[in-house]
């Protein structure tokens, strides 16, 4: 294995030949560099896309801090090199290395890869390969690091089962410590330290899924028959981890020395969402809602700006308007930061005039446009997806936004919702034109509209997991309708390529058989699939062919109501029955209101009743649990 010095010497000779060498040298403000030799547990966190995208990932930042706070552990970072750098690295025999100390990734005990979305899968394989680590989990020994994965895509881990040793299902803040402790025990104990024993011990940690300890059988029609653990002491269902009380948010964000996608400090004001939009993966899998107090958010924001010097502050959540004390929060933030040449962003606002007042209190400089997400343009569609607003609400709000001085509004819609017709799509264009026309009445011809129209992919663990995804033909037809109807030069239309949607669909809805397809596609050159220009559609089709599989089986098939899904042994703590009931409601066009008003017993409370009992009151938005605690056998973490 190369030493950090050898790696740096080799780098010196190639860095000036690649685009943006600043991506590959670390040295940012606020990084943590610990003593390698005296720190026994070493974790490398990888975001498998380029530095410019990965460095601002908040999830990894939280874990980086969690690990570095431990005396006995260090965390460092790596990202996927861009194709030019990859070529030089392979040519020069430079393995993927960490940006803190330039150690090869293979020298770490644990490699934690973030997979928030499925189009990163081939990059994850490429990262392992660049690190000189066998891509297939079955080929790794105790010599190799443990390959751990987390992020929203793990709610269906099966397509990646062949490559990953263990998945963290749900939130990682606490689970990462359990994993480090378990791995440490096996690394330090000589003879009992086999990889099999280590994996078995990991499988006993709540929320950790070790795919090699399960076998899957299939029905004749290709659907899953059973998923069963290979031993009685391995859990049948892995239920997600959830932190009952959000830990203090990170504030010492790493400040890149180069321009990246997001240059900002963030504070997560709340986690989870009670709205219950049926298409929304994040909304279903991050329950329950837990809020931070205004005081905690404001203190974190002040500290984050002070310690980073960033010019932007983002207050993050899935639905800002639903934060209980949102008015108090934005007033305080606006007063404290309004005049500091900062941009403050508050995403996911509800479509109502209060949202405009919120932005005004933040002293928004109106230069970035005002963003709203109606998602659908007809009443029928809005009932189906459970995001109900009226055209009148939307037009009143947008008119007011233009009138108060914003010249650009961004509206997000989605096509491909279940049972969508061409009329529903046309309604998007009609509504957009109306928004612009009304805006012109109050603010003149300068008003602009950006229309982002993405395509719906039915995701696991949501009420729409039974429905098919639109075919590329359907998607293109719908996009043509929009393009044809929207010719106004003041409406800027953007959309997702149909082929990208197709890829996302089979990767997120796949079973274990898809692993072979991923491997073949990667071998044949698929990587950076999240990048339009890099996405190699024919490679994927050829890979399906080679494995005798039909992508339509995964993407365009209406799934049987009694089907066992590939992900049924993974639980987001929202019951399948509840999702099914919600699916039935959608077919009837029935709205399920916000569960802050009334609990619909989705399954969160029985699963996390102890946590709720120990954390009563306003922090959570689920009802308090009054029943006495059942006598549970204490879960012992091995």
- Does residue 483 bind another protein (CB under 8 A)? no
- Does residue 87 bind another protein (CB under 8 A)? no
Report the residue number, 163 or 310, with the smaller CB distance to another protein: 310
Q: Of the listed pieces 438-446, 497-505, 542-550, 597-605, which binds ligand SF4 according to CB under 6 A? A: 597-605
Within positions 243 to 282, which residues make up the interface with another protein, using CB under 8 A?
A: 255, 257-259, 263
274 binds, among ligand SF4, another protein, none (CB under 5 to 8 A by kind): ligand SF4
Q: Of the listed pieces 139-147, 302-310, 345-353, 568-576, which binds another protein according to CB under 8 A? A: 302-310
- Does residue 66 bind ligand SF4 (CB under 6 A)? no
- Does residue 306 bind another protein (CB under 8 A)? yes
Report the residue number, 221 or 311, with the smaller CB distance to another protein: 311
- Does residue 367 bind another protein (CB under 8 A)? yes
Least Å from the CB of residue 605 to ligand SF4: 4
User: Is the alpha carbon torsion for 280, 285, 286, 288 positive or negative?
Assistant: positive
Q: How many CB atoms lie within 10 A of CB 50?
A: 22
Q: Are strands 270-271 and 290-291 parallel, antiparallel or unpaired?
A: antiparallel
Residues 6+ apart with CB under 8 A from 360: 404
Which member of 605, 607, 611, 625 binds ligand SF4 (CB under 6 A)? Answer: 605
Query: Left, alpha or beta for 369 (phi > 0: left; psi -120 to 50: alpha)?
Result: left
- Does residue 599 bind ligand SF4 (CB under 6 A)? yes
Q: How many CB atoms lie within 10 A of CB 320?
A: 21
600 binds, among ligand SF4, another protein, none (CB under 5 to 8 A by kind): ligand SF4
- Does residue 636 bind another protein (CB under 8 A)? no
User: In the sheet that 448-455 helps form, which strands lie side by side, from edge to edge?
Assistant: 370-375, 408-415, 448-455, 491-495
Distances from the Cα of 319 to the Cαs of 207, 372, 385, in angstroms?
26, 11, 16
Q: Residue 358 in contact with residue 346, Cβ under 8 Å?
A: yes
- Does residue 600 bind ligand SF4 (CB under 6 A)? yes
Q: Of the listed pieces 23-31, 211-219, 445-453, 456-464, which binds another protein according to CB under 8 A? A: 23-31
373 binds, among another protein, ligand SF4, none (CB under 5 to 8 A by kind): none
26 binds, among ligand SF4, another protein, none (CB under 5 to 8 A by kind): another protein
* CA 241 to chain CA mean position, Å: 15
- Does residue 604 bind ligand SF4 (CB under 6 A)? yes
Residue 397: both structure tokens together: 């709000």
Q: Of the listed pieces 19-27, 277-285, 496-504, 609-617, which binds another protein according to CB under 8 A? A: 19-27
Q: Of the listed pieces 20-28, 81-89, 395-403, 419-427, which binds another protein according to CB under 8 A? A: 20-28
| Residues 357-364: contacts with CB under 8 Å, at least 24 apart | 357/327, 358/320, 358/321, 358/326, 358/327, 358/330, 360/404, 361/327, 361/330, 361/331, 361/334, 362/330, 362/333, 362/334, 362/338, 363/334, 363/337, 363/338, 363/339
Within positions 288 to 307, which residues make up the interface with ligand SF4, using CB under 6 A?
A: 288
Per rule CB under 6 A, count of chain residues that contact ligand SF4: 11
State the alpha helices, DSSP H only, in 77-120.
83-92
Least Å from the CB of residue 603 to another protein: 45
What is the C-alpha separation between 294 and 250, in angstroms, rounded?
Answer: 16
What is the C-alpha separation between 554 and 215, in angstroms, rounded?
Answer: 20
| Binding-site ranges for another protein (CB under 8 A) | 12-13, 15-17, 21-22, 24-29, 255, 257-259, 263, 305-311, 340-341, 367
| Binding-site ranges for ligand SF4 (CB under 6 A) | 274, 287-288, 595, 599-602, 604-605, 622
């Amino acid at each position: 294995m190369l030493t950090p010095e050898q790696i740096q010497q080799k780098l010196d000779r190639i860095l000036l030949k690649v685009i943006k060498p600043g991506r590959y040298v670390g040295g940012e403000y606020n990084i943590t560099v610990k003593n390698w030799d005296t720190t026994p547990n070493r974790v490398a966190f990888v975001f498998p896309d380029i530095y410019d995208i990965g460095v601002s990932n908040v999830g990894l930042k939280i874990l980086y801090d969690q690990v570095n706070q431990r005396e006995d552990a260090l965390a460092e970072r790596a990202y996927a090199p861009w194709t030019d750098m990859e070529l030089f690295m392979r040519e020069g025999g430079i393995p993927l290395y960490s940006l803190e100390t330039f150690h090869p990734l293979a020298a770490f005990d644990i490699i934690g890869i973030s997979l928030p979305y499925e189009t990163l899968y081939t990059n994850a394989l490429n990262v392992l390969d660049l690190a000189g680590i066998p891509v297939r989990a079955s080929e790794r020994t105790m010599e190799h690091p443990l390959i751990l994965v987390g992020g929203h895509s793990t709610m269906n881990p099966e397509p990646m089962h062949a490559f990953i040793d263990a998945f963290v299902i749900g939130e990682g803040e606490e689970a990462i410590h359990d994993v480090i402790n378990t791995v440490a025990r096996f690394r330090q104990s000589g003879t009992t330290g086999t990889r099999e024993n280590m994996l078995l011990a990991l499988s006993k940690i709540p929320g950790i899924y070790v795919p090699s300890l399960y076998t899957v059988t299939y029905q004749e029609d290709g659907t899953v028959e059973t998923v069963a653990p290979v031993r009685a002491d391995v859990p049948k269902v892995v239920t997600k981890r959830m932190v009952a009380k959000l830990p203090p948010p990170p504030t010492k964000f790493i400040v890149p020395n180069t321009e990246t996608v997001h240059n900002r400090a963030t504070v997560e004001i709340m986690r989870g969402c009670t709205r219950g939009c049926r298409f929304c993966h994040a909304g279903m899998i991050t329950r329950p809602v837990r809020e931070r107090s205004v005081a905690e958010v404001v203190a974190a924001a002040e500290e984050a700006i002070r310690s980073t010097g960033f010019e932007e502050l983002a207050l993050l959540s899935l639905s800002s308007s639903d934060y209980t004390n949102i008015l108090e929060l934005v007033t305080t933030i606006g007063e404290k930061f309004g005049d500091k040449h900062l941009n403050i962003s508050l995403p996911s606002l509800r479509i109502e005039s209060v949202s405009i007042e919120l932005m005004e209190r933040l002293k928004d400089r109106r230069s970035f446009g005002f963003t709203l997400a109606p998602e659908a343009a007809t009443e029928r569609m809005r009932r189906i997806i459970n995001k109900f607003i009226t055209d009148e609400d939307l037009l009143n709000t947008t008119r007011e936004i233009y009138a108060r001085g914003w010249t650009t509004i961004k509206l997000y819609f989605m096509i491909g919702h279940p049972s969508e017709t061409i009329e529903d799509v046309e309604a998007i264009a009609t509504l957009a034109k109306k928004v612009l026309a009304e805006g012109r009445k109050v603010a003149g011809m300068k008003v602009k509209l950006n229309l982002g129209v993405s395509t719906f992919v039915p995701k696991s663990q949501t009420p729409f997991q039974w429905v098919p995804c639109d075919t590329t033909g359907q998607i293109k037809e719908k996009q043509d309708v929009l393009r044809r109807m929207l010719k106004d030069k003041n409406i800027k239309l953007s959309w997702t390529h149909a082929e990208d949607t197709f890829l996302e669909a089979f990767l997120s809805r796949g079973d274990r058989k898809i692993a072979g397809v991923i491997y073949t596609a990667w071998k044949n050159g698929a990587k950076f699939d999240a990048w339009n220009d890099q996405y190699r559609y024919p490679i994927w089709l050829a890979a399906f062919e080679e494995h005798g599989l039909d992508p339509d089986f995964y993407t365009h098939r209406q799934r049987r109501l009694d089907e066992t899904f590939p992900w049924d042994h993974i639980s987001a703590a929202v019951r399948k029955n509840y999702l099914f009931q919600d699916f039935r409601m959608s077919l009837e066009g029935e709205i399920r209101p916000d569960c802050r008003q009334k609990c619909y017993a989705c399954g969160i409370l029985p699963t996390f009743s102890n946590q709720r009992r120990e954390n009563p009151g306003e922090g959570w938005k689920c009802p308090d649990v009054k029943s006495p605690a059942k006598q549970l056998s204490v879960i012992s973490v091995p």
